[in-house]
A and B are shown apart, each in its own frame.
Chain A
Amino acid sequence: MSVSQAYHILFTAGLVWFAILIAVMLIKAIIGPGVTDRILAINMIGTMVICCILILSVLLDENYLTDVALIYAMISYIAVLILATVYIPANPKRKRFGEDVKREVEEGRRYVKEQRAEIRRKMEEEGFKGSTPPDMDGKEL
């Protein structure tokens, strides 16, 4: 077996493995529960497709495929950036947005406080004596 045949087998194995990984990440992009999981999966698919194109450019000995990979990298980057800016508010320090977030934070704090008060009440019912875990502000309940 010559060296070129060995390289051919090596790069083909790499291509097959990357194809399997891309298929797995495609399933992850479909089932991903949130927006960010899906964008992350698309980002990883883009990186692995770039790897496939680079391996192909060496395997087929076609130099122009490297340029294709560079353009693909740029387009993948721009796609992730634009998809991200859809969900990021233009001015996060705007007053209305800050008030919304503040209200949500207050709801969250109240939720945590209620949960911990309930835990404390249950512990007292069972006759537990000792220090309780501190509140989110660092104070004891």
Chain B
Amino acid sequence: MLEWILFAVCALLLFAAMVSFTGAVIGAIRFGFVMNSMHAAGIGDTFGILCLVVCLILSIGPGLNMMKLLVILVFLWFNSPVSTHFLIQVEYFTNKELYRFSDRIAGSKTNETASGEEK
């Protein structure tokens, strides 16, 4: 009976991971501006991978494989913000139309920092 309860918890966590990754994919496609898509992608990179790794750890039990799964979880949690930061820099340096968004998003401050001057 206990193992069936454990299975139910595992199924719930895997379902949560699948839902969050589905949300990430739908957000990455439906949001027009790429910085909004990055926000959607972050959901899968943090909550989705957490649910998946906890589900797998519950299904295999303690051991060496559990530690490796936790290492992967921590590694991805450290990597995802850094990747997003670099992607935003790429968008900032490649999008020539960004000033048209800038007065809508952040006012005129964005244009001042875009000139590369020291504050």
Contacts and interface: CB of A to CB of B under 8 A. Distances in A.
A112 B103 contact: yes
Contacts, number: 166
A14 B14 contact: yes
A50 B72 contact: yes
Given A51-B21, A104-B99, A69 B64 contact: no
**Interface magnitude class on chain A:** 35 or more
A36 B10 CA distance: 35
Interface of A: 3, 6-7, 10-11, 14, 17-18, 21, 24-25, 28, 34-37, 39-41, 43-44, 47-48, 50-51, 54-55, 57-58, 63, 66-67, 69-70, 73-74, 77, 80-81, 84-85, 87-89, 92-94, 97-98, 101-102, 104-105, 108-109, 111-112, 136-138
6 shortest A-B CB distances, which residue pairs? A108-B99, A98-B116, A84-B86, A66-B68, A36-B91, A102-B115
